[in-house]
Amino acid sequence: MSENSMKKIMMVTAGLILATNSIKAQTNVVDFENFTLPTDSFYLDTTSADFVSGISTFQYDWTQSQWGDYWSGGFSYSNMKDSVTSGYMNPYSTKAAIGYNNSSNYAVSQNFSMIKLSTFSAWQAPLGFYVTNSTYAYNSMRDGDAFGKKFGGTSGDDQDWFKLLVRGYSQGVLTNDSVEFYLADFRFANNSQDYILKTWEYVNLSPLGVVDSLVFELKSSDVGAWGMNTPAYFCMDNFESLDVFIGIKETGNENVSLYPNPAKSNITIHMAGTLSDKANYVVFDITGKEVLTGTFGKGVSSVKLTIENLERGVYFVRITNGNEIISKKIIKE
């Protein structure tokens, strides 16, 4: 076989490798509109059956007891429009009185609820969702009730707050990253800036990176001997996640190291030994978009990447060294 023929075969082989190792991504949106409900009603299942929409499974708990049966945890979906009635007898309504973008359905969640993402893909990432207060929680913070205080107190100067904390799990292990969002905030020096959320606002979850489940925790400045006094409810709509298909698996662990990883501003890619020829690298975000490119020069064993301008999240670096393709995951803090 001639040298030219061999080069052509090598080029075709390299092209096939690149083609089969391409990155594709698909965005999934759960808007709860696929669920059919009678007017002014909500999901109720006495067997504690979780409900599924798209690639996401929403936890649902129902408790039966001698004192009565009740929705005891997780998510329920609803089309209730009661933005007026106060108290624990109205837990399924949103203060916005309607879903995001004037849609009919939305979800209501209690404390420590969980969403599980489908595992049919190797890599997945939550993007975000729209959130607002339930009528029950909003009215309690606005007026005070038998359990919770009026936010701001009598003078309006009390430094009260109510927030949602979102954490991710990967293969049963809690990740280090978290996202917090204030559903009410009375900590401003100027009381006119104090607020209790009653409109739909977006929560960006991309800093959590690639996870397979999410846990939602509510926290409040108003706590007592039995825990938080503020009603532990919030409303969700248009939950977005990214189903990322990545043909490249992490390879070349013995030949390539990244440090520090996670990193905030700079990360070094180190190759074992020096290169006899130059190598190229490309950094992708989880959507497959190229965000950084560069080259290892001949005889060079390491290169420093500046990532301080990248958003927090997960990225992938692909290094092409002749016919060898090596991929690594980068976590930007």
Beta bridge partners of 248: none
Q: Where are the domains of the chain?
A: 25-246, 249-332
Q: What pLDDT, in 10s, does the model give residues 242-285?
A: 866 554 445 555 678 889 988 889 999 887 776 667 778 888 87
Please report the pLDDT score of residue 25 as a whole number.
58
At residue 3, the pLDDT reads 43
Nearest-CA neighbor of 118 among 247, 204, 243, 32? 243
The architecture in CATH of the region 25-246 reads: Sandwich (2.60)
Digit-coded pLDDT (tens) for 243-254: 665 544 455 556
249-332 domain in CATH 2.60.40.3080? yes
Residues sharing a CB contact under 8 Å with residue 65, sequence separation 6 or more, in sequence order:
none
- The tens digit of pLDDT for each residue in 44-92 reads 999 999 999 988 999 999 999 998 999 999 999 999 999 999 999 999 9
The strand pairing partners of 28, in sequence order, are: 241
Nearest residue to 141 (alpha-carbon basis) of 72, 216, 197: 197
101 with 61: CB under 8 angstroms?
A: no
Concatenating the DSSP letter of every residue in 86-131 gives -STT--S-BTTSS-GGG-S-EEEEETTEEEEE--SSSEEEEEEEEE
* pLDDT above 90 (res 315): no
Q: Which has more pLDDT, 178 or 26?
A: 178
